[in-house]
Amino acid sequence: MLKMNSGLEMSEEYESIESGTEGLTWKYANMEENRPKNRYANVVAYDHSRVLLPTIADIPGSDYINANYIDGYQRQKAYIATQGPLPETFYDFWRMIWDQNSRIIVMMTRLEERARVKCDQYWPTRGTETFRYTPEEKTTKYTTPVYTVTLNDTSEYAYYTLRTFILRREAGDAEMNDTNRQNSQAVESREIKQFQFTAWPDYGTPDYPQPLLLFIRRVTQVRSHMLHQLQQERLANGDSYNGRGTTHKPLDAIRPTSPNLLTELGPTVVHCSAGVGRTGAFIVIDSQLERLRYEKSVDIFGSVGRMRAQRNFMVQTEEQYTFLYDVFVEAATVYGTEVTAHGLYNHVVKLRQIAPSNLLSPNKPIGNGIHDGNAKDFAPTVNQSGLEMEFKRLNVNLVLHKQFTSAVLPENRLKNRTPDILPYEANRVFLPIIRGLNGSDYINASFIDGYRKKRAYISAQTPMPNTTDDFWRLIWEHNSPIIVLMHTETVTRSTNTSAPGLPVQSDSYWPMERSTRYQHLLVEPMVEYTMPHFILREFRLTDTRDGQSRTLRQFQLLGWPQDSVVPKSAEAMIDLIGQVHKTQSQFGQDGPITVHCSTGSGRSAVFICLSLLLERMRCEGMVDIFITTRMLRTQRVDMIQTPDQYAFCYAATLEYLASFDHYTS
């Protein structure tokens, strides 16, 4: 509703939020000795909510850092919002982390954007870095604590990076006494997790809410795990999570108001560059998702207003504010679709049951005009299973930027098997332009993000006679080391294209026995292996212009015949996925995996969707087929085309899960 009338109501709501500056002071931020500690002169820390550091030897300003406490859902000081650290504030940043007992850092910016430094790197690239109080850096006597940060692990994902630090504090001489030395209290250490969201664009806001929503879910998951560990430590010591007896309660029973565990965990430290725009967006989403969980409602307007009374400029632009609504519309739509690996079996059992009629209403308000469905787009009927209803809801409230600029050009129309499945302009695969040939940069193929890497896959339609040369150019120019062919048979040139999910077959686009030239590329068949579930072929590709060559591997799935909408067995698909990714890793090949079927949206989507699901389950122990499919559909039209394909993803994930005793036992 707020986006109607060209977004006028949204603009009016945003403009009506109090700035938060009236009656508030920031005299400590403006002290002469503290001004160099502010990255931006106009973004300061309010006096009443600023984080106070321990004073160093009565040095003026030594208790100042550009950081403010921000209240969360039913918890005061749940977050610390701060600027991206400057080199001269690295020491203060780490002693704040230690003094506040914070275990999680959320970084909402890259180090550089648009060739400008947005945040200085306050952690070591590898190994260990030591941080000392600046006046004592060149001395051998330290009256103040010394902090060392060791980079213990780095895990990169498509939309974020997770780093694990070991933060050690060595007491300064002013704190030391003989008792401390004898009790080895001079050095303490803690594990710190840093989540860096890398998918926020240089300009504006993310195109789609799903990556940020999944990122925040991961932060919440790790935070819950830390709380669970603290709970277990309490129980082992004869205490309970609430300090009254030793009764064990599950983690879900720990309400946000449980003070003891949360105090031990410390505030979540959130920063971007200035610590107000993206930082504010994260805190609103994280805190209001917790409210959504307990109250089934959100209050975006009130949340932003309350934050601005604690730190200036929080949620800095109207575009960021509008994006918050997009995130919560998505959160409401996908509410309840994420499950643990342990709970997947029971979840699927429930989905396969016929839904009661009282659950068929899609238009349930979540809060502030946010709904989890749209009756016009989603018309559930009686005698539907929960699984069928879930599939029908895949496009409900799904934000799509439907621009097919190149795909609909006259010179490119005959390169598309069907006018219904075209690549979005934003992520289509570009080919090098051939001078004098209009449309030479176009092929019906889309980049698809993986679990650990952006643009990890290319989803393409099977080549036609008039696009075979372009297909080989795609493989060469984008350094794709592996082709996955999702057709079992490839022998006939004409096949009915009306049934979604069924393959349109053509003559083989690869040479069978002798080398064949496709424009400037020479393709030489080398060897072929027939395995139980797939055929593996190896080719040598040579660029005849300069003689450069490389090896290409093609995997052709067996057991998915033309007249079947899903494979005969999940085992075959799981085996294929495992072998493809093992081969890519084994040979150290970093280019995208090219997957193709008739349209590049049915069978190809099943392969890619399952690849994402299985990798996330191995890494996080979590499964969400619904949001995974929605994310795929923001990248290519109608990914996962039929209810049967969608159900197969559930079945294959369950079968994969059954092979791991630690999940099923």
Bridge partner list, 117: 112
Rounded CA separation 369/177 (Å): 61
- Residue 267, classified by CB atoms within 10 Å of its CB into exposed (0-12), middle (13-18) or buried (19+), is buried
The residues, any chain, with a CB within 8 Å of residue 613's CB and separated by 6 or more, are 623, 625, 628, 649, 653
Q: Is 459 helix (H, G, I), strand (E, B) or coil?
A: strand
Which two three-digit tokens encode residue 279? 């930082």
Residue 92 contacts residue 40 (beta carbons within 8 Å): no
The single residue of 272, 609, 619, 649 carrying the catalytic annotation is: 272
3-state secondary structure 488-542: CCCCCCCCCCCCCCCCCCCCCCCCCCCCEEECCEEEEEEEEEECCCEEEEEEEEE
> Coil, strand, or helix at residue 148?
strand
Asked if residues 347 and 339 have their Cβ atoms less than 8 Å apart, the reply is yes
Alpha carbons 518 and 468: distance in angstroms, whole number: 8
Do residues 460 and 444 touch, judged by C-beta distance below 8 A?
yes
Q: How far is CA 660 from CA 15, 349, 552, in A?
A: 53, 19, 32
Rg of the chain over Cα atoms, rounded to whole angstroms, equals 28
Write the CB contacts of 239 (distance below 8 Å, at least 6 apart in sequence): 246
CB 634 within 8 A of CB 399: yes
- How far apart, in whole angstroms, are the C-alpha atoms of residue 212 and residue 382? 35
Structure tokens at 557: 């799935």
d(CA 243, CA 246): 8
Give me the helix-helix angle, 277-295 and 300-308, nearest 10°: 130
DSSP for 178-195 reads HHHHHTT-SEEEEEEEEE
Residue 164 to residue 150: CA distance in whole angstroms: 8
Question: Among this protein's residues, is 609 annotated catalytic?
Answer: no
Catalytic-role residue among 119, 597, 609, 649: 597
What is the full DSSP assignment across 389-425?
Answer: HHHHTTTTT-------TTTTSGGGGGG-S-TT----G
Which residues contact residue 394 at a Cβ distance below 8 angstroms, ignoring those fewer than 6 apart?
626, 629, 630, 633, 640, 646
SS3 366: strand
Distance CA 304, CA 314 (A): 7
CB atoms within 10 A of CB 438: 12
Q: CA 215 to CA 285: how far, in whole Å?
A: 11
Please count the CA atoms within 13 angstroms of the CA of 360 that sit on its side-chain side: 13
In the chain, DSSP finds a helix count (H) and a strand count (E) of 16, 22
The end-to-end CA distance of the chain, in Å, is 47
Active site residues: 272, 597
